[in-house]
Amino acid sequence: MKRLWAPWRMEYILDENKHDSCLFCDISKTGKKKVEDKKNLILYRGKHCFVLMNRYPYNSGHLMVVPYFHTPDFGGLSDDILFEFIKTVNRSTDLLKKALSPDGFNIGLNFGKVAGAGMESHMHLHIVPRWTGDTDSMPIIAETRVMPEHLNKTYAKLSRLFSKMELS
């Protein structure tokens, strides 16, 4: 019998919904210290939003773009924030193409719990790189997703590119 180890999943299972405050607000306030950003998987900090890796990804390189402004949807976001937000999404997909060579992307927002939002109080956009053949029957049959690369290795690969990111 073959075994598939996904040790980070237990952290997610045991930690689900245990935050009294907003996780994204807490993470964004940790400052710009490299150690804290690496711990929180933050790849980029802009003026109005930041990019971080999803700690419980659907695929390798699964990123989230998050505005600093706390809102469950687009309400209250200024034109400047929205512009930087979409430019950051665009630049992030460019960098993911360069680093991981995906065949495509799933990009989406989930507003509200019924829409699948796990963190419904603070909007964020998911960028999920996709490769031909990256889905099989494991998630359905074994409720297990196969991740081909460890988070820390993907973070190291992406952080080199994101450290030079410019939105112009």
* Per-residue tens of pLDDT for the chain, all 168 residues: 455 566 655 665 565 555 568 989 998 887 667 788 999 999 999 999 999 999 888 889 999 999 999 999 999 999 999 999 999 999 999 999 999 999 999 999 988 888 777 778 899 999 999 988 777 544 544 455 556 678 888 888 898 888 887 776
End-to-end CA distance of the chain: 52
| Contact residues for 22 (Cβ-Cβ < 8 A; gap 6+) | 70, 119, 121, 122
Q: Which segments of 16-78 does DSSP mark as H helices, in order? A: 23-28, 34-39
User: How high is the pLDDT of residue 113?
Assistant: 81
Strand pairing category for 49-53 and 63-67 = antiparallel
User: How high is the pLDDT of residue 136?
Assistant: 53
List the structure tokens of 84: 């930087």
What domains does the chain contain, in order, with CATH numbers? 22-132+141-162 (3.30.428.10)
User: How high is the pLDDT of residue 162?
Assistant: 87
Active-site residues, by number, are 124
Report d(CA 48, CA 81) in Å as an integer: 5
Report d(CA 84, CA 63) in Å as an integer: 16
pTM, entire model: 0.79
User: How high is the pLDDT of residue 140?
Assistant: 46
- HSE-CB at 69 with a 13 A cutoff on CA atoms is 15
